[in-house]
Chains A and B, each alone.
Chain A
Amino acid sequence: MRQIIHLDLDAFYAAVEVLLNPELKDKPLIVAMGNPRGRGVVSTASYEARRFGVHSAMPLFEAARLCPQAIIVPVRHHVYSEYSRRVMAILREASPLVEQVSIDEAYAEIEPARDAASVARDIQARIKSEIGLDCTIAVATNKLVSKVACNTVKPRGFIVIAPGEEEKFLAPLPIEKLPGAGKVTRTKLTRWNVKTIGDLANAPVAELRAEFGKWGLYLHQAALGQDDSPLVAESKPKSISEENTFERDTRDAAQIEKLLDEMCDGVSRELAREGFLARTVVLKLRYGDFTTITRQTTLSSPTAHAAEIRACALRLLRAYWDRRRALRLVGIGAHNLIEATSARQMELKW
């Protein structure tokens, strides 16, 4: 029997902001992408703000309407990645097999000989005492059940689904809690009057198969709490990128170049932190009418230097931006990554 831990940091970005500025504690807090008075969206809302109906990806003006007293702070990715790294380090001490799903979410597999529940308790306590962050942890026999379980007890939750109890645990939960049961799937499922995961488990497999094909089989197994997908440990990133939407569509070259500058710095920092060099620099431009172009340039020698990335970005911008048209968004990406420690071509010494 496998033992899988699912760890999810509670309102992660907001929690880090509170940690760095205790005055924000217990207040409705919104970590926002973009300008609060413009096109920003909610990245993370503290639980206090969520009580007002604010949630991630909500346009800021709507969040501000629902919760006018909310304190809005801009998102600071580099700060959160540092905290994320510390959390993941604790998790990795507990188990060598960790799959980091995102900045604030990860699975760990615990070997059968150890008591996964006490390991998980220990992790949760260490993250609180050593870093100061709250998280929710679920322990189950597979990734699917641990993930679903985790979401049922947030925040500061802890739950163990004992082996054999998976189906019983899932049955009463509404069908939207099942990963993969999106809107389209749920609409189709109304044919069998599926409201809960248990309803899905009882739906005739043959008919699900006829309707959904292989996917139907997955749905059936998932509803029974069966999942044998392995943890995917550490896959190296394919690219590192940043993009930003302008407050107002702009044709101001100075403003565009300034933003690109900042983003190149960010990408360069992230490359250095992750230990990669990029061989290809990709510029993304989105015009006011949402037409989007990406143009790339390949460097003769891979780099993580901000100045080199910036030179490429500016060259691409000058070559491909149609100046008659205002830009809504610019993005810069470092692709074709190689590890900084691998062999490197030396340069001629003029």
Chain B
Amino acid sequence: MKVSCLQENLAKGLSIVSRAVASRSTLPVLGNVLIATDQGRLKLAATNLELAVTCWIGAKVDEDGATTVPARVLSDFINSLPPERIDMELNVKTQTLHLKCARYDANIKGIDATEFPIIPSIGDGKKISLEPETLREMIEQVTFAAATDESRPVLTGVVTKFEKDKVTFAAADGFRLSVRHATLSTPIDQPISAIVPAKALQEVGRVSGDQEDPIEMAVTENKSQVLFKLTNIEIVSQLIDGVFPDFTRIIPESHATRTVVNTSELQNAVKASSVFAREAMNTVRVQIAPSGEMGAGKMTMTAASAESGDNVGDIDATVDGEPVEIAFNARYLADVLNVLHAPQVAIETSGSSSPGVIKAVNRDDFTHVIMPMHLGK
């Protein structure tokens, strides 16, 4: 293999595939990145057997070939190079990759590319076309609610449902639920539903920043894998096998109080309370007082820590319904407010031990449910 490319392109390509590199695997080749010529371009790929990311970069190919080299060594070296042309040549016998850039030279010891797992690609099966901006927002608004601990594997995934021109993403970690709907520009004929690991979707979100054309998504026939095809990037992930709990049942159908506040004011109040809440299981107490003769409605947030002290913060609120006293995990509130992208937020509650529902005002495509904190003695 003999190939040349630009340092910026290689560095960017490596950062795209890097998250799929297995960090501590018993299989050494999984810690490597595959470098292969592919129809006049250079293909980079990494996989940890659950997630595989492949990326193509522009290159001048003098001689076809492939190898794998330790991902960390390669990226650290490439990132230290000047933004110039890199010439690479593989010594097939020793599987040593020689790199030359400006006045830098390196030889990196690799492992034969035949040992690298074959990354599945999806043929001409049924593809779903997704607008990149919408998909990115869906990913952002839903994946954070997925579980990070593996005790209930299905909850580390995002349930994705496609039917006609409707798409729904939902994730829940047992304490909160995020649901986002959107419309497909190209309707599909067969409904599809799959549980995609939240981590895989987060990768799609991370690498799709420059994407302008629609992103194609496809689920394999046997429903074991999902593929996301971007311009020059492909992400393949195992699907999570299992039954996702029926999340529609936990979205309350009614509420006793609806409170509308300014999103950024609420974000600030939550941030201030977090200072004290973090030593108290992140507990913030929320008191909502409807407007009355005494003036406008308000929402009061308090947090107290036995060690560091306490705080109170007030924000104006438009309250419709009963007064409310409820406690939430401050981090959960901050998480959802961060992804709301709306100037005003509505909080619907029905008592201190019933779930709170958070929505963007004037938007009905996003629903977030948070279970309250139960206050001890």
A contact set with B: CB distance below 8 Å: 297-301, 308, 311-312, 315, 338-350
Asked if A347 contacts B376 (CB within 8 A), the reply is no
B73 at the interface (CB under 8 A from A): no
Given A300-B175, A342-B280, A343-B283, A348–B148 Cβ distance below 8 Å? no
Stretch at the interface among B32-40, B58-66, B216-224, B244-252: B244-252
- B182 an interface residue at 8 Å Cβ cutoff? no
Q: Closest B residue to A312 by CB, please name it.
A: B151
What 1/0 flags go to B191-232 for Cβ under 8 Å of A?
000000000000000000000000000000000000000000
- Of B112-120, B161-169, B338-346, B365-373, the one touching chain A: B365-373
Contact among B149, B176, B374, B377 for A348, CB-based, below 8 A: B176
* Given known contacts A338-B281, A348-B176, A348-B250, A343 and B369 CB-to-CB distance under 8 angstroms: no
Verify B373–A348 contact, CB threshold 8 A.
no
Q: Which residues of B contact A338 (CB under 8 A)?
A: 281
Q: Considering the complex of A and B, which 4 residue pairs feature the smallest CB-CB distances, nearest first?
A: A341-B376, A343-B283, A350-B245, A346-B371
A344 interface neighbour in B174, B245, B249, B281, Cβ under 8 Å: B281
Say yes or no for B297: interface residue by CB 8 A criterion: no
B147 touches A345 (CB 8 A): no
Does B143 interact with chain A (Cβ within 8 Å)?
no
Residue of A298, A311, A347 near B174 (CB, 8 A) is A347
- CA of A342 to CA of B329 in the docked complex: distance in angstroms? 13
12 examples of A-B residue contacts, CB within 8 angstroms: A301-B175, A312-B151, A315-B150, A338-B281, A339-B376, A343-B281, A343-B376, A345-B175, A345-B371, A346-B372, A348-B172, A349-B250
Report which of B172, B371, B372, B377 forms a contact with A341, defined as CB distance below 8 A: B377
- Closest chain B residue, CB of each to CB of A315: B150
Are B149 and A346 interface neighbours, CB within 8 A?
no
Instruction: Identify 7 new A-B residue pairs, CB closer than 8 A, beyond the known A348-B172, A349-B250.
Output: A299-B151, A300-B149, A300-B174, A311-B151, A312-B151, A342-B281, A346-B371
Nearest-CB distance from A328 to chain B (Å)?
Answer: 23
Which listed residue (B280, B369, B373) contacts A345, Cβ 8 A? B373
Question: In whole Å, how far is B371's beta carbon from the nearest beta carbon of chain A?
Answer: 4
Chain B contacts for A315, CB-based, 8 A: 150-151
Chain A residues whose CB sits within 8 angstroms of the CB of B280 once the complex forms: 342-343
**B134 is an interface residue with CB less than 8 A from chain A:** no
Residues of A within 8 A of B249 (CB): 350
Q: In terms of DSSP, what is the predominant structure of the interface of chain A?
A: mixed
> Chain B residues near A340 (CB, 8 Å)?
376
Which residues from chain B contact A344 at a C-beta distance below 8 Å? 281, 373-374, 376
B-side interface residues, number (CB < 8 Å): 30
Say whether B374 contacts A343, CB under 8 Å. Answer: yes
A311, A344, A350: which has the most chain B beta carbons within 10 Å?
A350
**B353: contacting residue among A341, A343, A346, A348, CB under 8 A:** A346
Given contacts A348-B176, A348-B177, are A343 and B373 in contact (CB under 8 A)?
yes
CA distance A348 to B373 in the complex (A): 11
Please state if A348 and B376 are interface contacts (CB–CB under 8 Å): no
Chain A, residue nearest B26 (CB) = A322
Interface-centre pick from B151, B175, B177, B281 (highest chain A CB count, 10 A):
B281
The answer to whether A348 and B355 have CB atoms under 8 Å apart is yes
How many angstroms between the C-alpha atoms of A114 and B373 in the bound complex? 47
User: Does the CB pair A347–B371 fall under 8 Å?
Assistant: yes
- Which partner residue on chain B sits nearest A279 by CB separation? B281
Contact assessment for B175 and A347 in the assembled complex, using a CB-CB cutoff below 8 Å: yes
Q: Which residue from chain A places its CB closest to the CB of B353 in the assembled complex? A: A346
Partner of B148, one of A300, A342, A343, A347: A300
**What is the bound-complex CA distance between A301 and B329, given in angstroms?**
12
Chain A residues contacting B369 (CB-CB under 8 Å) are: 348
Instruction: Please indicate the chain A residues that have their CB under 8 angstroms from the CB of B377 in the complex.
Output: 341
Give Cα A295 to B232, complex, Å: 39
Q: Whole-angstrom distance from the CB of B212 to the nearest CB of chain A?
A: 37
Asked whether B375 is an interface residue with its Cβ less than 8 Å from the other chain, the reply is yes
Asked whether, in the complex, the Cβ of A346 is within 8 Å of the Cβ of B374, the reply is yes
Chain B residues with Cβ below 8 Å from A311 are 151
Cβ of B327 within 8 Å of any chain A Cβ, yes or no, is yes
Chain B residues with Cβ below 8 Å from A346 are: 175, 353, 371-374
Measured between beta carbons, the chain A residues less than 8 angstroms from B173 are 300
Which of chain A's residues have a CB closer than 8 A to the CB of B371?
A: 345-348
Taking the closest CB of chain A, its distance from the CB of B280, in whole angstroms, is 7
* Contact call A343/B327, Cβ cutoff below 8 A: yes
Distance between A52 CB and nearest chain B CB, rounded to angstroms? 51
Bound form: Cα–Cα A315–B283 in Å: 30
Which residue from chain B places its CB closest to the CB of A340 in the assembled complex?
B376
Q: Which of A298, A339, A350 lies in contact with B250, CB distance below 8 A?
A: A350
Pairwise interchain contact A300-B374, C-beta atoms closer than 8 A: no
The chain B residue sitting closest to A319, CB to CB, is: B150
Give the distance to chain A from B248, nearest Cβ to Cβ, in Å.
Answer: 11
Say whether A301 contacts B376, CB under 8 Å: no
Residue of B nearest to A320 (CB): B24
Cα distance A344–B280 in the bound complex, in angstroms: 10
A348 and B174 in contact, given A311-B151, A343-B375, A343-B376 (Cβ under 8 angstroms): yes
Closest to A308 in B: B151
